Amino acid sequence: MSSKTSELLDAFDIADLRFFLLIAKKNIKFLIFSSLLVSMIVFFISLNIEKKYLSEATIVIEPDESKIVNINEAYSTITNGNRVNNLIAILESDEVIAHIVNDEKNQLKFRELYSNVERSVFSRIFTKKIIIDKEYIKLILKENFKVRNLTDSDVLVLTFVSNNPKISQLALNNIISSYQRYEVDSKIKTTNYANLKVKERLKELKVQMNIADKNLAKYKRENNLVDTGNVKELKIKEIKSISENILLSKQEKQKHENDLNSVKTANGDIDILLSIKDLNEREEISNIENNISANKNNINSLLLIYTPKHPKVIQAYELDKSLKHQLKHILEDVIERKVFELSNLKNFIELSNKDLENAKEELRLIEEKEAGMLNFSREVESSRKLYETFLQRQKETNEAQNLQISKLKIIEKPNLPVSPFTPKPLKNFISALIASLFGFYALILFRNMNSTVINTPEALDHLNIPQVGILPKVTDIKKGYHILQNFLEDSESNFSEAIRSSRTIIEAKFEKNKSFLVTSSNPSEGKTSYAFNMALSLEKNYKVLFVEADIRRPSVLNSFYKFDKEIYGLGEIISSKIAFKDTLFTVPGTKLKIITSGAKRFDMSDIVNKDQIKKFFDILKMEYDYLIIDSPPVQPVSDTLILTQAADHNLFIIRSDSSRTLAFMSSMKKIQNVGAKIDGIVINDLDTSKDSYYNYNYNYNYSSNYYNKA
């Protein structure tokens, strides 16, 4: 079944509109008659089945702002979707319907209207007499009443279907009125119940409020608390201040430690000590450095005028020595102060950490006390709010008891239907006609695709593929002759003339030194007979090689001709077991060279690919004018799909009254899927005796006309 479906889908891809129109044209009478018959039956049934009338009304039920339902739902939030669903459930409930059927006036109206209903033919034949009682009215109200909600809105559309338009309208009016009465009654009951429960709850809340106040006062008394809010804030600020001081002290401590490590590394070298940033930036050290620098400049100036032993020069040197001694002394003092400051910082950090821990502990105690007090405070506040809320609810329920109205608003009143919404005879007739046309056409198409065979060349015109040959049915073959080489043995026959016509078309349409693959959908469609006879025909004027490429079955030529040496063929060439020259044979009485399939049997796709086969064919075309390849059929094996890609031109054989349309189109699709195409079609075994004009046209004019067209 899956293979049939696959073939059918392939056919839809291949066939064009003309193919489907051709099938419709052939069966147009059946399609029209059958579709009209079905449509008339549907029309007749539509006229005689019971008419149904649809009454429709549109309402909206506004939200209840007070939302007083019962004490358990006093604080629940109901989504709009749930609210609408609840309202629909109430409209369809037994309670609303009970308001209608229990009213005797309504029962009388329904009985009167039902007694005036005209019953259809089918209704009178197939249904029993109806007793209009309370149960029946209740049943029809439940079955025929429908409610739907317009998306994202509070709007409800009510519909009622009946065999009488007045019944439909009456039913909707009664349902709306019944809902309004039910809604008001329910609200009054609910309000009374809520009022009672609210009063009970107020008494309980008053007791709870007194208990909560006493518990809070007791806790404050036991913990000496009035309001811990400010104390807690101050404590938090204290902790924050201590933490910031510790952080700054640690940074200063680290800086002093780094400078002292640098002093230790300098080992008394004044130049290295002066490179320490903190020492170098001190004012007293900076001043001495400036003095030393100025004195050095003075010494250099004096040496330009005086000798080193001059009193002024000696005095300058002594000043330089004094300044350096003074600088060293100041550096030592600064370093000692740094050591002292570092010790003080460590002590300060240690004390600050202790203060921080104490402050944190005090904050924890404050928070614990505050948490306890807040629990009691929240309990007091919660009890107070609940009491105020329920007090307000009591006022609302007292007011609601005095005024209860329905929240239902009618947007569109129930209408009185003028015409039935079902059945619609004309619409049903047109729908049945269209459905029948498509349905019957689909059945005919399926039958044609699965069972019909190709019997005329016109059946293939829609494909736009040239027909390169039409071979007549060969009924009688002379004694000792064989169809495989009928062109040689009976050159005056219609079959031989058809081969010549096909040869003429091939010579005109295609170039020389090309490879021609001949295939078909399935075995026994005449591809070998056509391919071999065409090779015999071309051999008269050209150098031709015939290749038997069906390596999965025994060689046809080997069984027909008795060669005088061991047979090797294409199978041995592909498997590289024999030289090419050892596979060539000559057909007796001709110059036609052939390569049989050989003795080797295997799947070609497992050994070679299309590029290797094409390269092999290209080499052969350099030696021969025409390369005729007899390939396996497309459907049973995959070898053909490789060969079609390697050959220059692909010719497809169709046996008239035997080849099925579906198989042919599926084969075309497979060939197209591998990137190849069919370049010509040959109709084989055509019964030309059925049409004398066609026989005449075929024998004398077909060849020349097609040649000129090409």
Instruction: Give the pLDDT confidence score for residue 371 in this predicted structure.
Output: 67
Instruction: Give the pLDDT confidence score for residue 459 in this predicted structure.
Output: 66
Q: Give the distance from CA 32 to its chain's centroid.
A: 42
Put the strands of the sheet holding 53-61 in their side by side order.
145-149, 155-162, 53-61, 408-412
**Which is more confidently placed, 611 or 663?**
611
**d(C-alpha 330, C-alpha 323), whole Å:** 10
pLDDT at 543 > cutoff 90 = yes
Any bridge partners for residue 546, and if so which? 594, 628
CB atoms inside a 10 Å sphere around CB 397: 21
Instruction: Give the pLDDT confidence score for residue 665 in this predicted structure.
Output: 82
Work out the pLDDT band at 52, boundaries 50, 70, 90: confident
- How deeply is 694 buried, as exposed, middle or buried, from its count of CB atoms within 10 A (0-12, 13-18, 19+)? middle
Instruction: Give the pLDDT confidence score for residue 706 in this predicted structure.
Output: 36
**Strand-strand pairing, 649-655 and 584-586:** unpaired
**Which is more confidently placed, 230 or 540?**
540
Instruction: Give the pLDDT confidence score for residue 72 in this predicted structure.
Output: 42
Write out the DSSP string of 372-432: HHHHHHHHHHHHHHHHHHHHHHHHHHHHHHH-----EEEEEPPP--SS-SB--HHHHHHHH
Mean pLDDT in residue range 447-462: 66
Work out the pLDDT band at 76, boundaries 50, 70, 90: very low
Residues 410-427: pLDDT tens digits?
889 898 888 887 888 888
**Which is more confidently placed, 670 or 81?**
670
Please choose, from the candidates 45, 63, 184, 165, the residue with its C-alpha nearest in 3D space to the C-alpha of residue 117: 165
**Strand-strand pairing, 53-61 and 155-162:** antiparallel
Task: Give me the helices (H) in 60-164, please.
Answer: 80-91, 94-101, 104-115, 121-126, 134-144
Instruction: Give the pLDDT confidence score for residue 562 in this predicted structure.
Output: 63
Mean pLDDT, all residues of the chain? 77
Instruction: Give the pLDDT confidence score for residue 651 in this predicted structure.
Output: 95
Instruction: Give the pLDDT confidence score for residue 89 in this predicted structure.
Output: 86
Work out the pLDDT band at 195, boundaries 50, 70, 90: low
Please choose, from the candidates 103, 100, 113, the residue with its C-alpha nearest in 3D space to the C-alpha of residue 174: 100
Mean pLDDT in residue range 623-633: 93
pLDDT at 58 > cutoff 80 = yes
- How deeply is 638 buried, as exposed, middle or buried, from its count of CB atoms within 10 A (0-12, 13-18, 19+)? middle
**d(C-alpha 191, C-alpha 397), whole Å:** 6
Work out the pLDDT band at 462, boundaries 50, 70, 90: low
pLDDT at 5 > cutoff 90 = no
Instruction: Give the pLDDT confidence score for residue 77 in this predicted structure.
Output: 41
Instruction: Give the pLDDT confidence score for residue 410 in this predicted structure.
Output: 87
- How deeply is 225 buried, as exposed, middle or buried, from its count of CB atoms within 10 A (0-12, 13-18, 19+)? middle
Instruction: Give the pLDDT confidence score for residue 166 in this predicted structure.
Output: 87
Instruction: Give the pLDDT confidence score for residue 69 in this predicted structure.
Output: 41
Any bridge partners for residue 467, and if so which? 681
**d(C-alpha 259, C-alpha 252), whole Å:** 11
Under the phi-then-psi rule, with left for phi > 0, alpha for psi from -120 to 50, and beta for the rest, what region is 434? alpha
Q: pTM for the full model?
A: 0.46
**d(C-alpha 608, C-alpha 602), whole Å:** 11
Work out the pLDDT band at 68, boundaries 50, 70, 90: very low
**Which is more confidently placed, 325 or 278?**
325
Mean pLDDT in residue range 308-330: 81
Work out the pLDDT band at 623, boundaries 50, 70, 90: very high
Instruction: Give the pLDDT confidence score for residue 64 in this predicted structure.
Output: 59
Instruction: Give the pLDDT confidence score for residue 361 in this predicted structure.
Output: 80
**Which is more confidently placed, 4 or 566?**
566
Among 15-19, 379-383, 603-607, where is mean pLDDT lowest? 15-19
Mean pLDDT in residue range 130-135: 78
Helix axes 425-451, 28-48, angle to 10 degrees: 150
Mean pLDDT in residue range 600-618: 84
Residues 94-125: pLDDT tens digits?
888 888 888 888 888 888 887 776 665 555 55
Instruction: Give the pLDDT confidence score for residue 198 in this predicted structure.
Output: 67
Please choose, from the candidates 416, 397, 595, 461, the residue with its C-alpha nearest in 3D space to the C-alpha of residue 515: 595
**d(C-alpha 476, C-alpha 488), whole Å:** 16
**d(C-alpha 423, C-alpha 420), whole Å:** 7
Instruction: Give the pLDDT confidence score for residue 709 in this predicted structure.
Output: 38
**Which is more confidently placed, 650 or 418?**
650
**d(C-alpha 614, C-alpha 608), whole Å:** 10
pLDDT at 518 > cutoff 50 = yes
pLDDT at 405 > cutoff 70 = no
Work out the pLDDT band at 517, boundaries 50, 70, 90: very high
Residues 550-577: pLDDT tens digits?
887 766 666 566 666 667 788 888 877 7
Instruction: Give the pLDDT confidence score for residue 74 in this predicted structure.
Output: 37
Please choose, from the candidates 602, 629, 634, 449, the residue with its C-alpha nearest in 3D space to the C-alpha of residue 523: 634
Work out the pLDDT band at 334, boundaries 50, 70, 90: confident
Helix axes 283-305, 311-402, angle to 10 degrees: 150
Please name the amino acid found at residue 531: A
pLDDT at 49 > cutoff 70 = yes
Mean pLDDT in residue range 477-501: 80
Write out the DSSP string of 529-569: HHHHHHHHHHTTTS-EEEEE--TTS--HHHHHS--SS----
pLDDT at 274 > cutoff 80 = no
